[in-house]
Amino acid sequence: MPAAIPKTEPLRLSVLRRYAILDTLAEPSYDDITLLAAQICGTPIALISLVDSDRQWFKSSVGVSAKETPRDHAFCAHAILNPDQTLVVPDATQDERFANNPLVVGNDHFRFYAGAPLVTPSGEAIGTLCVIDRTARELSEEGLQALQALSRQVIALLEMRRLVSDLETLSTTDGLTGLRNRRAFDERIIDEHHRSMRSKHPFSLLLIDVDLFKDYNDSFGHQAGDDALEDVARIIQYTVRNYDLAARYGGEEFGVILPDTDNQGAMGLAERLRRAIERDEWMYRQITVSIGVATIEHGQSIPALIEQVDRALYTAKQRGRNQIVSADAD
């Protein structure tokens, strides 16, 4: 008997996915918890099960090799329906919800189940810490309390993971535009340089400068200038590809890293970007950008590449702005 869908299912799934835990590799901190649960409860099987939209996925497991099962087969899908209670099934063959479950009548021979819901601070049950046996049995009060306590430790680990991720995002995101900041740009260019050296594939850089931005600020005010930078960032983010990195390089300058992109491809994307900004509807006056383009193809160092793209941008501004200059042609 498949479990009902929780009334808050969209929110529950959103909370689950915010942890970015699904399909990650095994980690000792989670494995320690399942090992303790199995030992304390005296069961051959213990799982940290996360209930996704159509499956249950195991972040950690003792006693089973499977990484996931269909949600329709999941005891845990029933357990999350009552976040405040631990679901205990002494003998699955005597419970109409599970008597015909493939995990019971099939080769797994599950009989006993106890699952403590993993309840987030917002009150959503995203899965369980559960213990399973192949013989019918009961769970002692001490075992029940231990399972509940360990389930709270799983949530503590997930919350720590989310906090670290949020802090990392804050530390690499520009507060005004929402693009990556200079730190993120510098880290990514090192990664792309190493990858390019190994694969012998080129990658390209764009350095973008908002034309006459100081004059714009002086004429219309700093708030108008901030609004303009936000709009330019929005257009950049919309124009680049999902695997490109767009960053606020500094002030009114933006940088874009284009992996696996030769000079011709970079020039084409730069032109689409220049046109999109030129043709956008601006509140006070038209805004344009100058763009320098450089491509690493012959093993240049990162400082040499930055110098090339910076020189190309300077040339674009010297030639009248609102244009693109490639370092190859400079």
- Per DSSP, the three-state class of 32 is helix
Q: What percent of the chain has pLDDT over 90?
A: 91
pLDDT digit string, tens, across residues 80-113: 999 999 999 999 999 999 999 999 999 889 999 9
Contact, 49 vs 89, CB < 8 A? no
Instruction: Specify the DSSP element, H or E, that contains 324.
Output: strand 324-326
Q: Residue 299 pLDDT more than 80? A: no
Q: What is the rounded average pLDDT of the residues 233-238?
A: 96
Q: What pLDDT does 1 receive?
A: 79
Q: What is the rounded average pLDDT of the residues 125-145?
A: 97
Say which residues have a Cβ less than 8 Å from residue 306's Cβ, sequence separation at least 6.
205
Contact, 84 vs 148, CB < 8 A? no
Pick 29 or 169 by higher pLDDT.
29
Per annotation, catalytic residue among 252, 271, 278, 307:
252
pLDDT digit string, tens, across residues 256-286: 999 999 999 999 999 999 999 999 999 999 9
Q: What pLDDT does 108 receive?
A: 87
Residue 288 class from Cβ within 10 Å (0-12 exposed, 13-18 middle, 19+ buried)?
middle
Contact, 143 vs 62, CB < 8 A? no
Contact, 226 vs 170, CB < 8 A? no
> For this structure, is 168 an active site residue?
no
Pick 296 or 246 by higher pLDDT.
246
Q: How far apart are CA 172 and CA 187, in angstroms?
A: 10
Q: Residue 330 pLDDT more than 60? A: no
Mutual angle of helices 222-239 and 213-220, in 10-degree steps: 140
Q: What is the rounded average pLDDT of the residues 35-51?
A: 98
Q: How far apart are CA 155 and CA 277, in angstroms?
A: 45
Residue 89 class from Cβ within 10 Å (0-12 exposed, 13-18 middle, 19+ buried)?
buried
Q: What pLDDT does 145 receive?
A: 97
Residue with tokens 């200038």: 225
Q: How far apart are CA 114 and CA 151, in angstroms?
A: 12
Contact, 233 vs 210, CB < 8 A? no
Cα–Cα separations (whole angstroms), residue 330 to 92, 118, 195, 314, 315:
75, 60, 26, 10, 7
Q: Residue 297 pLDDT more than 80? A: no
Neighbouring C-beta atoms of residue 131, cutoff 10 Å: 30
pLDDT digit string, tens, across residues 165-222: 989 888 999 999 999 999 999 999 999 999 988 888 899 999 999 999 999 999 999 9
Residue with tokens 């520009």: 174
Q: What percent of the chain has pLDDT over 70?
A: 99
One-letter amino acid for residue 326 of the chain: S
Q: Residue 19 pLDDT more than 90? A: yes
Of 17, 139, 2, nearest to 77 by C-alpha is 2
One-letter amino acid for residue 316 of the chain: A
Q: What pLDDT does 328 receive?
A: 82
Domains of the chain: 9-169 (3.30.450.40), 182-326 (3.30.70.270)
Contact, 277 vs 287, CB < 8 A? yes
Vertex 318, ends 314 and 321: CA angle to 5°? 90
